[in-house]
Structure 1
Amino acid sequence: MKAVQQAVEVSLTGGGEPGRLIWDNRTYPIRGVLDQWRYGGRWWLSEPPRTCYLVQAGGLIAELHHEDSTDAWWLARIQD
């Protein structure tokens, strides 16, 4: 997987899971959540906890992170 670390826009499904990813002016429909986990953050650096998702988005496998405290989404890594 290739590291990206860019802010992205994510729309949620009615069930609260990622449903659409907008990255680099392109829209990727999320066809499925392959994995989901919680990351507590590096507390010694005051990183907030976040929820992480591994998703199938169009032709990409993408790792998305959602920072709970700020509602920010970012694309951590991709495999195309």
Structure 2
Amino acid sequence: MRAIQQPCEVTHVTPRGTPKVIRWNDRTYHLTQELDRYRAGGRWWLGEPSRTCWVLQCGSVVLEVHHFDETPGAHPQGWFIARMQD
């Protein structure tokens, strides 16, 4: 997998919170299978919050998508693609 480390937009999630439709770099990726889900602690020395991480099959592409906890004053917040295998 290659590192991406860029923000993305998640427009739909499953009832469990798994990203279903991900937009990044003028492309749209649709979830076909959730391969893994885990929690990761943030880099506390940088003031980074914890996050939920998914490894998702989206057609022929595998994405590792992270979502930072919504902690007031925390940076960064929201969704981003950590890694991609295409």
Both structures adopt the same fold (TM-score exceeding 0.5):
yes
Q: What is the DSSP-based 3-state SS (H/G/I as helix, E as strand, rest coil) of the residue aligned with 1:28?
A: strand
- Partner Cα separation in structure 2 for residue 72 and residue 15 of structure 1: 17
Determine the structure 2 residue equivalent to 1:37: 38
- Partner Cα separation in structure 1 for residue 18 and residue 62 of structure 2: 16
Q: What is the DSSP-based 3-state SS (H/G/I as helix, E as strand, rest coil) of the residue aligned with 1:44?
A: helix
1:69, distance to aligned residue in structure 2 (A): 1.3
**In 2, are the aligned partners of 1:21 and 1:57 still within 8 Å (CA)?**
no
Determine the structure 1 residue equivalent to 2:5: 5
Q: Runs of 4+ in structure 1 displaced over 3 angstroms?
A: none
- Partner Cα separation in structure 2 for residue 61 and residue 33 of structure 1: 10
Percentage of pairs with the same residue: 49
Alignment of 1:76 onto 2:77:
no
1:46, distance to aligned residue in structure 2 (A): 1.0
- Partner Cα separation in structure 2 for residue 57 and residue 21 of structure 1: 9
Moved more, 54-63 or 12-21: 12-21
Runs of 5+ unmatched residues, structure 2: 72-76
Letter in 2 for 1:54: V
TM-score, length-scaled by structure 1: 0.90
- The number of equivalent residue pairs is 80
Determine the structure 2 residue equivalent to 1:61: 62
Runs of 5+ unmatched residues, structure 1: none
TM-score, length-scaled by structure 2: 0.84
